[in-house]
Amino acid sequence: MEFLTLNKIDVTYDKKKTVLKGLNLEVKEGELVSLLGPSGCGKTTTLRVIAGFIEPSGGEFILDGRNYTKVPVHKRNFGIVFQSYALFPHLNVYDNVAFGLKLQKLKKAEIKRKVEDMLEICGLSEFADRFPGQMSGGQRQRVALARAMVIQPKLLLLDEPLSNLDAKLRINMRVEIKRLQKKFGITMIFVTHDQEECFSISDKVAVMNNGLIEQYDTPENIYLKPKTEFVARFIGFNNFIPLKKQSGGIFITERKELIQVEQETKLEEGLGTIRPDDILLADETVSENVMNATVGVRTFLGRSYQYEVDSTAGKLVVNAPIGKVYEPGDRVRVQLPKNKIIIVRKSM
Amino acid sequence: MRKNKMLVAFACCVFAFLFLPLFIIAVTAFGGESAITFPIQSFSLKWFANIFTSGSFISSFKTSFQIALFATLLALLVGIPAAYALARYTIKGKNMIQSFFLSPTIIPGIVLGFALYRFIVLVMRMPVFYGLLLGHFLAVLPYIIRVVGSSLSQFDFSIEEAAWSLGCGKVSAFFKVVIPNITSGIMAAFMLAFINSFNNIPVSMFLTGPGVSTFPTNLMNYIEYNYDPTVSAVSVLLMAGTIIIMFVVEKTLGIASLAK
């Protein structure tokens, strides 16, 4: 039994614009799941449906065996961390964190104990009397987290919580979030467009596009075995060769070249994809998956040169070590190692 | 920094143009003559005394104060939720509703006054005081919606959503989180609306009736028949009152909050 289930959620604006179409998602208790995708893919809408800010036009949302689809926001008891932190500007840090507890009508002493514990855990004890306007972005972020966690929510929702922080702080904060998540064993849904951030802390990642989840898997599987062209492009694959299955591990390109692929797939037809780093500029001795190519543009990446080459299988981007430099127009042989090629489904 | 002498001289002229008449009025209030003269020939405070003995100034001041206070409070009661709804939700024809709410500030006061006269006095036959109250309420409502609306447009509504998520119902979140963060806007709207109602002549002129007159209309009537320095004395008191209020506002909120 899953802890959280989104079942065929539809969201439509103005009866015309469909944002989510039959979205399904399942999350286990204590997992940190990221919704990853470009802006406009529906990830924030999904989060807002879970939070209760948007009522879906179809489908249901079950949490811990209870149907939450129509439960109003203030009765859900979910913690939410907003992109803008949304701290209460007129309250100091202590009162910001105590806000939810006061509404639960707890005894004063209990509120005090809980707030102080939470401030301690988040490293905010010395800032209790400060107002949000007097704090840095990172500190406000901690207050937002403390305020959402102190009510012991069933679910913690984070909407691009790190996007307003500078790079160094972002890395610290994501470690912090992961630490708190492990400490409290809380189930988290994390929305982001930053794949590094998302891979580093998530147990599972849902890559979204056009209101649908393209792939829902562990970060490792998303990174190493993308299933669709969209996912592959999103995580940095940029060579795509249209292929048809001939037999077993043999595929055929549009120009009738045979390519061996180690990965097993049920797809009869798709795109062979490979990272620029994995393509080799081959010498005469190898013969497997080798094709002739002409060097086009060369750019310097620091650790390597990136070449755009025109091969018999189409244009390819290749990263090659800086040892040997090729000039535009040079004839080369490129090798696509069979264990590095992944067959993905073509995306619309 | 290079000082531009022409600019300084020009600024001095503008200030003189603005403040000299006020200065002359203030001086004439202390004159002993029975007509307004400048410079004054003798010193007297009797015109100040006259304000308080004549009665009509006191009663019309009371009327104006009550009307301004109640009309403004009513307008806040209606205007704050309206401004909130306009800022918070995307409503069909939002721009049209917004310009509709602001139209009384664009329509000449005299037109508004006449329209209200037709409706409130001739058709509804309301008691004078309530008619005035309704008229002033309508005249100041746009200011409230405008000023509160501009302060709400800078409000991050995810703050309100955060309050909901922490277990706060929608109405309670509005009072606990939204209102405290737009108080300076509400104060500014209050001041602006109050002053507008208190100074209003075109609407009051049509709506006042037997026994009930507002302070400005009373002052106008007085000038028509008397040319003594009582009017100057009244002006001095009003200016003093305004200066005190401005001083208090500056100390508590800062004048800038009124200009937002």
pLDDT tens-digit readout, A293-308: 889 888 998 888 999 9
CATH number of this structure's domain A4-229: 3.40.50.300
Instruction: Output the pLDDT for position B245.
Output: 82
ipTM of predicted assembly, 2 dp: 0.83
B171: closest chain A residue by CA:
A74
* Cα–Cα distance for residue pair A248/A261, rounded to 1 Å: 9
B169: closest chain A residue by CA:
A74
CB contact under 8 A, A74 and B164: yes
Instruction: Output the pLDDT for position A43.
Output: 92
* Cα–Cα distance for residue pair A343/A309, rounded to 1 Å: 21
Retrieve residue B102's tokens.
């602001």
CATH number of this structure's domain A238-344: 2.40.50.140
CB B158 within 8 A of CB A84: yes
* Cα–Cα distance for residue pair B192/B255, rounded to 1 Å: 12
CB contact under 8 A, B161 and A86: yes
CB B72 within 8 A of CB B194: yes
Spell out which chain A residues touch chain B, with contact meaning CB-CB distance below 8 angstroms.
51-53, 73-80, 82-84, 86-90, 99-100, 103-104, 147-148, 151
Beta-bridge mates of residue B209 = B212
CB A156 within 8 A of CB A186: yes
Structural domains present in chain B: 55-225 (1.10.3720.10)
Out of A52, A78, A84, closest to residue B158 by CB: A84
CB B207 within 8 A of CB B129: no
* Cα–Cα distance for residue pair A331/A282, rounded to 1 Å: 11
- Does the pLDDT of residue A320 top 50, yes or no? yes
**DSSP sequence for A60-121:** EEEETTEE-TT--GGGT--EEE-TT----TTS-HHHHHHHHHHHTT--HHHHHHHHHHHHHH
Mean pLDDT value across residues A83-111: 93
- Does the pLDDT of residue A156 top 90, yes or no? yes
**DSSP classification of residue A346:** P
| Residue B146 to chain A, least CA–CA distance (Å) | 23
Instruction: Output the pLDDT for position A173.
Output: 85
Mean pLDDT by 10 residues, chain B (260 residues): 82 93 89 82 86 86 94 96 90 82 80 87 84 91 90 92 94 94 90 90 87 87 86 89 84 61
Spell out the domain ranges in chain A: 4-229, 238-344
Angle between helices B230-252 and B215-225 (to 10 degrees): 150
Phi, psi of A5 (to 5 degrees): -130, 125
Sheet containing A187-192, strands listed edge to edge, beginning at the edge strand earlier in sequence: A79-81, A155-159, A187-192, A32-36, A204-209, A212-217
Instruction: Output the pLDDT for position A284.
Output: 65
CB contact under 8 A, B166 and A147: yes
| Burial bucket for residue B115 (CB in 10 Å: 0-12, 13-18, 19+) | middle
